[in-house]
């Protein structure tokens, strides 16, 4: 309800950045509520506002989120298109954490499409980049994808070893908390 009020006020004032951000927040909210069609509609509307304003940061954010939403729906080719477009913008902007997350999303989409060699290359890039910037959540996600890729190529020993290492790291983190 507050987001709807914010959106109405932003539209009334013609404040495009606030319109875009509010649409993105609504997209995120509906995605979390399990309503991907509504989430995509808000992200697409926000993307249109950002394209009109040539707001690359906003465009990249909406594109990456659309990629994730379409991946959750199993629309992998569409997801890949949006993720690639977002990644292209993000590489030139230095929005580090979002780039790491978009790369991880792309690796998972390629995996779902059965494009294992491409997924492995993106997974390695994601892992290296996430480690470089200290983005531990994405490091963890990239390691999980690495285990899935190992299993998919028949290297179950490497997959099991990776998962055991991750489980050990998770329990150590839990003990420290």
Look at 11-25, 107-121, 160-174 and tell me which has the smallest mean pLDDT. 160-174
pLDDT, tens only, 56-94: 999 999 999 999 999 999 999 999 999 999 999 999 876
- pLDDT, one tens digit per residue, over 7-61 is 788 788 887 888 889 999 999 999 999 999 999 999 999 999 999 999 999 999 9
Q: How many residues does the chain have?
A: 177
Structure tokens belonging to residue 75 = 């629309």
Residues 6+ apart with CB under 8 A from 71: 79, 83, 105, 108, 109, 112
pTM: 0.85
Query: In this structure, what token pair is assigned to residue 84?
Result: 């690639």
Which residue, chain included where needed, has tokens 């890039």?
A: 125
What would the two tokens of residue 105 be? 């999303």
Average pLDDT over residues 114-126: 96
Mean pLDDT of 131-140: 92
């Amino acid at each position: 309800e507050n987001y709807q009020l914010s959106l109405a006020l932003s539209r009334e004032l013609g404040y495009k950045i606030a319109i875009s951000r509010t649409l993105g927040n609504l997209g995120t909210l509906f995605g979390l509520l399990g309503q991907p069609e509504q989430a995509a509609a808000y992200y697409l509307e926000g993307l249109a506002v950002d394209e009109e304003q040539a707001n690359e940061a906003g465009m990249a954010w909406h594109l990456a989120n659309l990629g994730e939403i379409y991946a959750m729906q199993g629309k992998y080719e569409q997801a890949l298109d949006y993720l690639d477009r977002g990644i292209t913008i993000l590489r030139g902007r230095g929005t580090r954490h979002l780039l790491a997350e978009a790369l991880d999303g792309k690796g998972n989409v390629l995996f779902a499409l059965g494009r294992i060699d491409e997924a492995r290359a993106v997974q390695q890039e994601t892992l290296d980049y996430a480690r470089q910037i200290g983005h531990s959540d994405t490091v963890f996600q990239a390691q999980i994808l690495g285990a899935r890729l190992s299993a998919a190529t028949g290297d179950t020993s490497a997959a099991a070893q990776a998962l055991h290492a991750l489980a050990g790291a998770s329990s150590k983190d839990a003990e420290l908390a």
